[in-house]
Amino acid sequence: MVADEEKFGVGHVIRHVLTIVLAGLAVVIAALPLHSTHAWAVGTEVKPLLALGARVAGDRARSRIVIDFDRKPDFKLHYLARPNRIVIDLPSTAFGFNQEDLAPRGLFKDIRYGAMDVDSARLVLTMERPARMVIAEAQQDEKTSGYRLVLDAEMVTDQVFSQLVEEQGWGQATSVAVTRGDRVASTPDASSPGKFVIAVDAGHGGIDAGATGATSKAAEKDITLAFARAFADRLNREEGIEAFLVRDKDEFLSLSERVTIARQRQANMLISVHADTLRQSNIRGATVYTISDKASDRMAEELAARENLSDEVAGVSTPQEPAEVTDILLDLTRRETQAFSIAAANAVVKSFEGQVTLINNPHRYAGFQVLRAHDVPSILLELGFLSNKEDEALLLDAAWREKIADLLTQAVQRYRQPLQANGG
């Protein structure tokens, strides 16, 4: 442990240095330009791995690093505390990308890489907060003969991180088990077998108060939390259902954190609750939203844009992701998840019909960030509009909350039935 820590001293991790084994001789050349790497001459015994490109994307809840290699990289993963770091050990590697390509962002506040000795190189990720790798794998690139190392980190609690550090045998780590974070949409939670887990997300919170009641001046964040509590309580009275609150107090959570919390608690479904305002105070009634790149209509588009501003309000919004990385983020499971989300939205509309005032075309869709979990079916519910007097009165009425919680519970059961029939 000590030796490894020492190896780690600042002087030993050299950025942008290529370690070359050339005719048995270790030659260290600082800042060797990439185009001269073809010079791995005949007689080279072990040709170093070539890291051709790299990119990083994500936010404080979840971040991804992708590094392109000329061939399959063997790697080992370790966790280090104080400061919290994830270390990736590689064989001798020539880093041929620009330092800016791995400029720290998201979960990572510092990213370093370089040669350790003639046979090894290392990537050191220092983190803003405890995190773990949920995906760490070398994937073959279909177009080139190369491989890309995909590293997906996700926020965890201090406790989980300490456990990760403790449980790994640093000296004997030949490979580190990494569990994939992805799950099939309807897979029951392993930790509570057979339970159908629902993440109830009270929109807004903390510095982000959301909309304000036209008459009462009530804050949307308080209305959503009161409703979420009533709804989760109601759901938890159902057999086989386990509901939890994504936020259970007046605190700010970024949209990405909400998605990550739902995924980490292995939710089978996420329901985000809102009560926004519109310019047109005569419009009232409930709306159910699912995610889509293209909005169903102008109102949906504007509403999603406003909801997505939540992160900006708190100053945690992340810059535009590099397109290539976000493309990789799209997963095949998303299509299946999307079908489940739409089925859930339909179930809600069906339960509300004749019981609750709905707006025209009550199932709408737009690019809501909070609905973007690719493996958790997600819906966003606008219970009503705080810009409408009648809706506002209902939104503040505890009896109405109970009624809506009841109807939504029916909707959840309606959605669940075919899943159960299919063994899901």
Residues of the shown chain interacting with Zn ion in the complex, contacts defined by CB under 5 A: 203, 210, 274, 276
User: Shortest Cβ distance from residue 338 to Zn ion (Å)?
Assistant: 22
Q: Retrieve residue 174's tokens.
A: 């030949």
d(CA 367, CA 300): 9
**DSSP 8-state code for residue 187:** P
User: Shortest Cβ distance from residue 273 to Zn ion (Å)?
Assistant: 9
d(CA 296, CA 363): 9
User: Shortest Cβ distance from residue 272 to Zn ion (Å)?
Assistant: 9
User: Shortest Cβ distance from residue 230 to Zn ion (Å)?
Assistant: 17
SS3 172: coil
3-state secondary structure 226-260: HHHHHHHHHHHCCCCEEEEECCCCCCCCCHHHHHH
Decide whether 106 or 210 has the Cβ nearer to Zn ion.
Answer: 210
User: Shortest Cβ distance from residue 193 to Zn ion (Å)?
Assistant: 34
409 neighbors 234 (Cβ within 8 angstroms): yes
Length of the chain: 424
User: Shortest Cβ distance from residue 311 to Zn ion (Å)?
Assistant: 13
Q: Retrieve residue 220's tokens.
A: 């949307």
d(CA 291, CA 294): 9
In this chain, which residue has its C-beta nearest to Zn ion?
274
Decide whether 224 or 268 has the Cβ nearer to Zn ion.
Answer: 224
- Give 2-53 as a DSSP string: HHHHHHTSTTTSEETEEEEEETTEEEEEET--GGGGGG--TT-SSPPEEEEE
User: Shortest Cβ distance from residue 422 to Zn ion (Å)?
Assistant: 34
Decide whether 276 or 311 has the Cβ nearer to Zn ion.
Answer: 276
d(CA 336, CA 47): 43
Decide whether 73 or 210 has the Cβ nearer to Zn ion.
Answer: 210
Decide whether 224 or 341 has the Cβ nearer to Zn ion.
Answer: 224
Decide whether 210 or 377 has the Cβ nearer to Zn ion.
Answer: 210
Closest CA to 125 of 108, 106, 102: 108
Decide whether 50 or 200 has the Cβ nearer to Zn ion.
Answer: 200
User: Shortest Cβ distance from residue 63 to Zn ion (Å)?
Assistant: 26
Q: List, in sequence order, every residue forming a beta bridge with 22; answer none if it has no partner.
A: 25
Decide whether 154 or 276 has the Cβ nearer to Zn ion.
Answer: 276
- Amino acid of residue 327: D
